[in-house]
Amino acid sequence: MTISDQELLKLQMECTVFFENNPYAYETAKGLSKKLGRGVEPLQIVLNRLAAISILEKRGEGNMAIYSYKTPYTQSEVEIH
Amino acid sequence: MQETGLIHDIVHTGVPGLDVLLNGGVPRGTTIILEGNPGTGKTTLGIQFLLEGARQYGESGIYITFEELPEQIYRDMSGFGWDLRELERQNKLRIICLEPDVLLDQMTRTDGLFEQLIREIDCKRVVIDSISLFRTLGVSENDGREQIYSIRNIMRKFDLTAFFLREYGETEGRSTPFENYVCDGIIRLSLREHLEKYRKRTIEILKMRGTHIVEGEHHYRFLKDGICILPALSMVEDKILNDGVDRLSTGIESLDELLLGGLPQGSAFMLDSNSKANYKYLMNSILAERLKRGDCVLFMLSGLSSVETLEQTLELFGSSLKEAALEERVFFIDHYHRKVEPEYEKLVIHVDRLSNEEYQKKVYEAINPHFRETILQGKRWFIHYDLNTIISERGREFVKRNFADEMARCRAAGITVLCQSNFTEIGLETSSFLERASNGVIRTWVDGSYQYLQITKSPGGRMSAPHIVDNIRDRPYVRLI
């Protein structure tokens, strides 16, 4: 089964929102598939893509690879001299 | 300086009332199963436990959820005014979501995810929601056992105090689950029918290693700031009498425990016993203890107890009445004009054949100068007030008219009074009045083949469960079980 880029992009958004809302979720592709109600295979593609662009952190390889959110650096206050 | 929350290595749960049931809290490093049906508040109680550590004692915590999403927990708990995300930002809390097999795998790895997280926030408290899922992980039930055993050991290794949540329904009726043996404590939350139309929430501590517990079922409620437990048999605390006063030991260790250290100085307590119950050991232990501690004591003698018999009984409890008499620390009110040894003669106030007015005047004139003088010297006074004798000699009306006033005056002077009475014999109306005028009531009665004792009223607001009075060979000859 081939998955279109459009579908992968939608899934990518879904995963990003999930990790953003649950910043301390440590999920495998299988675990996340249960929580999002999506197939494991496309999730694996998307999770690896998100890890490659540093949105997620990946620990381990294969089925037991764990993905977690890399909290972006934000600065809320700036002191101006 | 940051408070550590360590009192003899006890971890406070932060759930109002629960620490009372746990004698202060749970021992550090223990693993406790918190079980209950859906909707009983396991998650709320677990979070409350972590919040207490994070906010009050600088102890970070991790909540591990397998099924519930953290975002749901953030939302639900915000209803209690708890901002969990903010605590996460401060590295005081983590709400972690992962699969049970992943957790197990990572826990057993050297420098695995679990160890990293513990280190990252210096975690001291953990909640796992829920261990029920480990049953479904392995091929056989044995696998589940090994996994839970292994997790418990990891908690101990890191000195983590942990709550393992468990669905109660699934273990109900089955043989005792394995984890009940390996975990240090079991707390059960229940939702039961109450008065037909209502439901009551109850909490019960079924097992707890390393600390005394208050047994039985206790009500709990969801309030706007979390769960609050109402320990059974508790009433409103009398702060004025409970805080910062000396406690006078009764000489019976188990009774002192029920009284949170002993009789508060300056209080008026009632010892109510039915005709079958043997109250003498209790009374004599208390009186002997006062003499041993160098206090002044005013005894009211009954028809059955004379100075002579009192001397013999107190001797049994290792206390010398004669010695106290020579130091002029003891006085006696006698309605029966009995002869005494010369050492006691000037210490006995004979009140036989006196009208009530004459009686009051004589006692007041005889004892008041001693009260004044010794209290100024910093001595403590204790009065043994035999209400049975007063009622039979002076009448019920005399007691009703004067008792509350006498007790108030004693309290004001810091004098502790122990009244002896038989409520059943006195009747409901008078006994209710006496109970109201006293700060505490100790009841002892015989039912079937056992004698029982219960604190039914105390300034601390605590009532006790009924205890069995057991005779022992050595002093003080009784203990409460």
Q: How far is A73 from chain B (nearest CA, A)?
A: 12
CA–CA separation, B357 and A79 (whole Å): 85
- Band (B3; pLDDT cuts 50, 70, 90): very low
Q: Which residues of B touch A23 (CB under 8 A)?
A: 70, 88
Q: Which residues of A touch B102 (CB under 8 A)?
A: 26-28, 31, 64, 66
Range of weakest confidence among B388-392, B394-398, B463-467: B463-467
- Band (B82; pLDDT cuts 50, 70, 90): very high
**What ipTM does this complex have?**
0.88
Cis, bond preceding B459 (omega within 30 deg of 0): no
B350 close to B336: Cβ distance less than 8 angstroms:
no
pLDDT above 70 (res B287)? yes
Q: Which residues of B touch A22 (CB under 8 A)?
A: 69-71, 95, 97
How many residues are listed for chain A in this entry?
Answer: 81
pLDDT of B6 reads 39
A42 close to A3: Cβ distance less than 8 angstroms:
yes
Arithmetic mean of pLDDT, B224-230: 91
* Sign of the dihedral through C-alpha B195, B226, B238, B377: positive
pLDDT of B239 reads 47
CA–CA separation, B96 and B121 (whole Å): 13
Q: Taking CB atoms and an 8 Å limit, are B98 and A23 in contact across chains? A: no
Q: Taking CB atoms and an 8 Å limit, are B102 and A26 in contact across chains? A: yes
Closest chain B CA to residue A34: B67
User: Which amino acid is it at B260?
Assistant: L
CA dihedral B98, B101, B103, B104 (to 10 degrees): 170
pLDDT above 70 (res B323)? yes
Closest chain B CA to residue A64: B102
B-contacting residues in A 7-66 (Cβ below 8 Å): 21-28, 30-31, 35, 59, 64, 66
Q: Select from A35, A59, A66 the Cβ nearest to the Cβ of B69.
A: A35
Q: SS3 for A21?
A: helix
Q: Which residues of A touch B92 (CB under 8 A)?
A: none
pLDDT above 50 (res B4)? no
Instruction: Pick from A37-41, B215-219, B455-459 the range whose average pLDDT is largest.
Output: A37-41
A19 close to A69: Cβ distance less than 8 angstroms:
yes
What is the pLDDT of chain B when averaged over all its residues? 87
pLDDT above 80 (res B233)? no
Q: Give first-to-last CA distance, chain B, whole Å.
A: 42
Q: How far is B101 from chain A (nearest CA, A)?
A: 9
Q: How far is B224 from chain A (nearest CA, A)?
A: 25
Q: Select from B97, B105, B106 the Cβ nearest to the Cβ of A25.
A: B97
Q: How far is A40 from chain B (nearest CA, A)?
A: 15
Q: Taking CB atoms and an 8 Å limit, are B102 and A22 in contact across chains? A: no
pLDDT of B133 reads 80
Q: Which residues of B touch A26 (CB under 8 A)?
A: 96-98, 102, 106, 113
CA–CA separation, A27 and A35 (whole Å): 10
- For residue B219, with 0-12 CB atoms within 10 Å meaning exposed, 13-18 middle and 19 or more buried, which class applies? middle
Residue (of A34, A43, A41, A57) closest to A13 by Cα position = A43
Residues of chain B whose C-beta is under 8 A from some C-beta in A?
69-71, 88, 94-99, 102, 105-106, 113
- Interface size, chain A vs chain B, as Cβ–Cβ contacts under 8 Å: 46
Q: Select from B71, B102, B106 the Cβ nearest to the Cβ of A31.
A: B102
CA–CA separation, A40 and A62 (whole Å): 12
Q: Taking CB atoms and an 8 Å limit, are B70 and A31 in contact across chains? A: no
The tens digit of pLDDT for each residue in B395-435 reads 988 988 888 888 888 888 889 999 999 888 888 888 888 88
How far is Cα of residue B258 from the mean position of the Cα atoms in its chain?
6
Q: Which residues of A touch B106 (CB under 8 A)?
A: 26, 66
Arithmetic mean of pLDDT, B268-289: 89
The tens digit of pLDDT for each residue in B94-137 reads 999 999 989 999 999 988 999 999 999 999 999 999 888 877 66
| CA neighbours closer than 13 Å in the CB half-sphere of residue B238 | 14
Closest chain B CA to residue A66: B102
The tens digit of pLDDT for each residue in B192-217 reads 766 555 678 899 999 999 888 888 88
Q: Select from A22, A26, A66 the Cβ nearest to the Cβ of B69.
A: A22
- In degrees, rounded to 5, the angle at the alpha carbon of residue B67 between the alpha carbons of residues B62 and B72 is 75
Q: Select from B71, B105, B106 the Cβ nearest to the Cβ of A21.
A: B71
pTM above 0.80, yes or no: no
pLDDT above 90 (res A33)? yes
User: H or E element: which one contains B200?
Assistant: strand B198-208
B102 close to A28: Cβ distance less than 8 angstroms:
yes
Q: Which residues of B touch A25 (CB under 8 A)?
A: 69-70, 96-98
Q: Taking CB atoms and an 8 Å limit, are A59 and B99 in contact across chains? A: no
pLDDT of B162 reads 97
User: Which amino acid is it at B377?
Assistant: Q
Q: Select from A22, A31, A59 the Cβ nearest to the Cβ of B99.
A: A31
* Phi, psi for residue B254 in degrees, rounded to 5: -65, -30
The tens digit of pLDDT for each residue in B340-353 reads 999 999 999 999 99
CA distances from B440 to B238, B376, B418, B462 (A): 10, 27, 9, 10
Interface probe for A, chosen from B88, B97, B115 (most Cβ of A below 10 Å), is B97
Locate the DSSP E strands across B301-368: 330-334, 348-350
Q: Select from A25, A28, A66 the Cβ nearest to the Cβ of B70.
A: A25
